[in-house]
Structure 1
Amino acid sequence: MARSLTLSAYLALHRGKTTPLPDWRRRPNAPVVWIRCGSPTRLAAAEAIASLHEMEDLGVEMLITGAGDSALYFTAQNPNATQIEAFLDHWKPDAVLWLGGENLDPAAIVATHAREIPNILVEASGPDLAQSFSGWFPGMPRAVMQRLSQVLCTDAAAQKKLLKTKLDEAKVEITGTIDEDPEVLDFDEDQFAAVNQAIGTRQCWLAAPVRLAEANILVEAHKHACRRAHRLLLIVVPALEEDASAIADGFRAHGFETLLSADGTEISETTRVLVLDTDGDDLGLWYRISPITYAAGTLIGGNSQDPFDIATLGSSIIHGPIVGAHALRYARLDQAGGCLVINNAGELGAAVETLLSPDRTATIAMAAWDVTSGGAIATSRVASLIRDVLERKGY
């Protein structure tokens, strides 16, 4: 491989001093894969890979560093070259998996490549690579990237950026984002058939899990949407079971014929709102029933639902700006057109009205399905690459 003077200068500046080694445990007598997270947001992807049954079957030990609390292996997120050498001497990893193209460490890539340890970069995006390259000397991207064994990109922009570094085209794939295979919520097929028959040909939309403070927002949104479809049914799943009666009373006060499921009355042609009084264990049923779901809590705050739970059952998602712990999954769906995003409560009714068009609903639902299923495909490809490396090493 051609020598790069700028890379040599960079490494010389980042050599660093020898420091006392951390109190590492002994290296296991098993395959070791070092996972370097480009940022704390990559931890979920790292855990998805580490928990793969295939990795467990091979007995792979995953060392995850570089994402926030990395003190077990390094005292700094970006260790110097001397610390890296000590780490490699102790752990002797069989492969290095770089999660994310941001914060790539040239010293670690050079050191591992020199020891013939494969470097695999996954979830590489154009903006993330630009962030890494911006801190390097001129000419370094080509010298560093050519030391990678394989790259899995999230998009064509990243692939194009990498090919400009003269990285072998066969080593660059577009696989999307890493994620664990989403678990589809269960629902009772007989109950599904019964509810479907009761609703008949009427259109419906779902709001879940709804807090009492959000009820008035739903009242106004349902009023708006009913102008387009006067037989429209709204299904409400309260966040707290004890709020069900108060939510139902609020709709009745605005003239909606409202059924509280605890009353035991069947859904009729004139029912406009169905308020459930369950604890949410049957959410899978209602996501499957309704082609439109408003992810409640995303306008006022609170515990929003995992959007993959909704998308995997075929319901199109409407959500506001407050997405909480599921921000990454919402962002992925948004980018792919797998959600309808609203900025405030006043936009909810119009969003529901928009999705009353079957074509628009189907387009969003299909885009969301591609995202939820694509993560598992990318994760499977990572597992395949690791397995190939380990097989070549005789495991």
Structure 2
Amino acid sequence: MKPLALSAYLAFSRNAEGWGRRQLQKRLARGKEDPARLAEREGHASLPRPEGPLVWFHAASVGESLSILEVIKRLGLHDPALNFLVTTGTVTSAELLSARMPPRCVHQFIPLDVVPFVRRFLGHWQPDLAIWTESEFWPALITETSDRGTPILLLNARLSERSARRWYAIGKSARCLLDRFAAVQVQDDATAAHLRKLGLPRDRMAVTGTLKEGTPPPPCDESELARLSGMLKGRPLWCAASTHEGEEEIAAEAHRIAQKGTHRLLMILAPRHPERGPAIRDMLAAKGLAVRLRSETASPDEDCDVYVADTLGEMGLWYRLAPVSFVGGSLARVGGHNPYEPAALGSAILHGPHVHNFADIYARLDAAAAALRVEDAAGLGATVAELMQPSRSAPMAYAAWELSSSGADVTDKAIALILEHLPEKAA
């Protein structure tokens, strides 16, 4: 018998088609949905189901979806008969995945957690194995998938303190949903403790680390890398990556400080939300900085102080160019962003104090002298100026690369778990 809270949720979900369509229209009006693919959010498939066994991966957004691509690639090489479906819920993740998905892999938007939408989705795709990543648990999706007899795994699980408190509040319902997972691999001991408290048995859970450690570095256009490298002609530069509102002002002030001791210094500023590019350009220009916008096909000429990289899918390019990278979301109270990409590409890493989303890896990077914490614009500017000396940045970059390259076993463990639970008819 299902707990009362879960039963009430599912009862509402079974009769929520009208509500779901209204929510989708609101999201569409805010630019959060792809109008050409809105029907996918109601469970209408836009692609045929491939013949043969199908493994379904669900990832909430960009970081989670990119972390599973290496797993899918290697599974596909292991068994050429396997096909893969990846679902996400954001337009940005769909755009990035379209250029990076391995062979025999298709993308669809996840249906809203409305039972008729979910049943339509499952009826079409009929996955042989379902795999959730991190911590996005939709009750109707999990329940309906399990009730069809499809085994479900949870990989790369991570629960923040805030998320855990929300799950504790629904107690028995959380345990009922967790019981649907055949096995769980978690990123860290804190998440394991939360899940045990929620009722997940120890024998169904293993702490393996994060899949992001085993993810290959982001690709880049080699011809564009050569073009920009030639244009910059050894000009000193640094990157402020994945910045949020408020952090661009801090980075601008830091850049002014660092410029005083570093002739011709350039900052590449890659905002977390590229659509903010024009507004960031106007703000920086008002501060007297010479700004060029990547989305307007401008190049960082000799007079440029800040190059705003307001495009998608090019972080591999910026991290390869920059010997020093500040990873944003860490001076703003966001919780930090993925440091694995700059680490894998040999960039020394700077970050602010707010990194609780990736506390374990930042602690390891700091302990290995592969990253430095800064508190404000003054500290960021002084540290950037200091690290423009290769003798200071190169040892940090090497330490970051060495640490990031040690995570392949996390991917190995994920693949082994998937193969263990793949039904015999699919395997």
Fold shared, TM-score > 0.5 on shorter chain? yes
Change (3 A) 1:25 1:156: same
In structure 2, the partner of 1:100 is 134
Which residue of the other structure, out of 325, 331, 355, is the alignment partner of 1:295? 325
Structure 1 SS opposite 2:85: strand
Contact 1:176 1:378 in 2 (8 A): yes
Q: Deviations over 1:55-99 (max 9, x none)?
A: 25434333222422599856843232x332232222110111112
Structure 1 residue 36 corresponds to structure 2 residue 58 = yes
Contact residue 167 and residue 174 of structure 2 kept, 8 A: yes
Contact between 1:178 and 1:378, CA under 8 Å: does it hold in 2?
yes
CA distance in 2, matches of 1:346, 1:108: 47
What residue is the counterpart of 1:387 in the other structure?
Answer: 419
Match of residue 163 from structure 1:
196
Aligned to 2:76: 55
1:77 counterpart = 2:112:
yes
Q: Which structure carries more helix by proportion?
A: 2
Q: Secondary structure at 2:198's aligned position in 1?
A: coil
Is residue 15 of structure 2 the alignment partner of residue 16 of structure 1?
yes
Matched AA of 1:294: V
Deviates more, 1:338-347 or 1:109-118: 338-347
Q: Does 1:115 align with 2:174?
A: no
SS of the residue corresponding to residue 4 of structure 1 reads coil
Check the 8 A contact 2:154/2:183 in 1, yes or no: yes
Are the structure 2 counterparts of residues 310 and 106 from structure 1 closer, same or farther at C-alpha, using a change threshold of 3 Å?
A: closer
Distance 1:174 1:370, change over 3 A: farther
Distance 1:237 1:348, change over 3 A: closer
- Preserved contact between residue 339 and residue 368 of structure 1 (Cα < 8 Å): no
- Equivalent residue, structure 2, for 1:269: none
Q: Is the 8 Å Cα contact of residues 101 and 122 (structure 1) preserved in structure 2?
A: no
Counterpart-to-counterpart distance in 1, 2:356 and 2:80: 30
1:144-177 Cα deviation digits (max 9, x unpaired): 1112111111211110111123322122112222
- The CA distance in 1 between the partners of 2:74 and 2:120, in whole Å, is 31
Distance 1:183 1:32 in 2: 26
Q: 1:29: Cα distance to partner?
A: 1.3
Quick check: 1:4 aligned with 2:2?
A: yes
2:48 alignment counterpart: 26
**Match for residue 87 of structure 1?**
121
Aligned mates of 1:42, 1:184 — CA distance in 2: 17
TM-score, normalised relative to structure 1: 0.59
Which has more radius of gyration? 1
Give CA deviations for 1:343-372 in whole Å, capped at 9, x if unaligned: 31554435776999x999978964664345
- Could you tell me whether the CA contact under 8 Å between 1:31 and 1:390 is conserved in 2? no
Q: Is residue 67–residue 211 contact of structure 2 (8 Å, CA) maintained in 1?
A: yes
Deviation at 1:181, TM superposition (A): 2.4
Indicate conservation of the 8 Å contact 1:208/1:294, yes or no: yes
Q: How many percent of aligned residue pairs carry the same amino acid?
A: 24
- Following the alignment from structure 1 to structure 2, what is the Cα–Cα distance between the partners of residues 313 and 73? 30
Structure 1 runs not aligned, ≥5 long: 186-205, 223-233, 248-279, 288-292, 299-305, 322-326
3-state SS in 1 of match to 2:406 = helix
Contact 2:346 2:400 in 1 (8 A): no
Matches within 5 A, 1:177-188: 177-179=210-212, 180-182=215-217
Q: TM-score, normalised by structure 2?
A: 0.55
Q: 1:4 to 1:130 in 2, by over 3 A?
A: same
CA contact (8 A) 2:89 2:109 kept: no
Q: 1:391 to 1:5 in 2, by over 3 A?
A: closer
Q: 1:73 to 1:347 in 2, by over 3 A?
A: closer
Note if contact 2:88-2:108 (Cα within 8 Å) is conserved in structure 1: no
Question: What code does the residue aligned with 1:91 have?
Answer: W
How many residues were matched structurally?
Answer: 309
The structure-2 alpha-carbon separation of the partners of 1:355 and 1:55, relative to structure 1 and needing over 3 Å to count, comes to: same
Structure 1 residue 331: Cα displacement: 8.0
Unaligned runs of at least 5 residues, structure 2: 19-41, 95-106, 221-235, 241-251, 269-298, 306-315, 329-337
Equivalent position amino acid for 1:53 in 2: R
* Aligned-partner SS, 2:211: coil
1:389 deviates by: 2.8
Equivalent residue in structure 1 for 2:176, among 133, 143, 159: 143
For the residue of structure 2 that corresponds to 1:373, the secondary structure is coil
